[in-house]
Amino acid sequence: MKQPRAWQRMLSGRRLDLLDPTPVDIEIEDIAHGLAFVARWNGQTQGDYAYSVAEHSLLVEEIFGRQVPGAPVKWRLAALLHDAPEYVIGDMISPVKAAVGPGYGALDDRLMAAIHLRFGLPSEVPKTVKRQIKRADKVSAWLEATRIAGFSEAEATRFFGRPETALIESCRIRLRPPLQVRADYTGRHAALMAAL
């Protein structure tokens, strides 16, 4: 019996095997392009443009830097890349991830390990750093939920926790064209790589 295709052709020309991804098949331009076109909240946000995973990732990295000001550059890079596998598997909302089951998590973990290795990070981020990035991710989710996704502050706080006012007061949710977000994502990645 013929096996179903489990690879995706990237715009860079790379052929990424989703079941056995290798670092050599990963390019930041592919990641940035894909994430700039993947909508958070299944596109259920206000504004003229979808709020992309690339934009979210830029915000998470910024918040992570505020929460952990002395963090090494490599962990800021990990924060920027925290949702990078979604460039090929999309952004599934939490209820869908729960319904799909553990297979989704395993696929995400394999892709993340290959992405980390490609950019000089350990395949697995230490648990303390992972928790710090997750905390920044939840702050971003709270901001997105209350500012563009129609959640009340009480509802968002129930799901994501209430962030410190000082941490979020100057954070901006930006809705921009995908190509602009793509350029900012690749630019931030380049800056972090140069600082490693």
Q: Cα separations (Å) of 90 from 39, 94, 194?
A: 8, 12, 28
Q: What is the pLDDT of residue 81?
A: 98
Q: Domain boundaries in the chain? A: 55-194
Contact in structure between 192 and 84 (CB atoms under 8 Å)? no
Distance of CA 6 to the CA centre of its chain: 22
Q: Is 97 exposed, middle or buried (0-12, 13-18, 19+ CB in 10 A)?
A: middle
Contact in structure between 67 and 167 (CB atoms under 8 Å)? yes
Tokens of 34: 């894909």
Q: What is the pLDDT of residue 85?
A: 97
Q: Is 113 exposed, middle or buried (0-12, 13-18, 19+ CB in 10 A)?
A: middle
Degrees, nearest 5: CA angle 184-119-37: 40
Q: Which pLDDT tens digits describe the chain residue by residue (196 residues)?
A: 777 888 999 999 999 999 899 999 999 999 999 999 999 999 999 999 999 999 999 999 999 999 999 999 999 999 999 999 999 998 887 777 778 778 888 899 999 999 999 999 999 999 999 999 999 999 999 999 999 999 999 999 999 999 999 889 899 999 999 999 999 999 999 999 999 9
Spatial CA neighbour of 159 closest among 172, 140, 174: 140
Coil, strand or helix: which one is 175? coil
Dist. CA 80–CA 71, nearest whole Å? 13
Q: What is the pLDDT of residue 83?
A: 98
Dist. CA 10–CA 22, nearest whole Å? 14
Can you give the pTM of this predicted structure?
Answer: 0.95
Q: What is the pLDDT of residue 13?
A: 95
Half-sphere exposure of 107 (CA within 13 A, CB side): 19
Degrees, nearest 5: CA angle 90-95-98: 90
Q: What is the pLDDT of residue 156?
A: 98
**CATH number, domain 55-194, options 1.10.10.520, 2.40.50.140, 1.10.10.10, 1.10.3210.10:** 1.10.3210.10
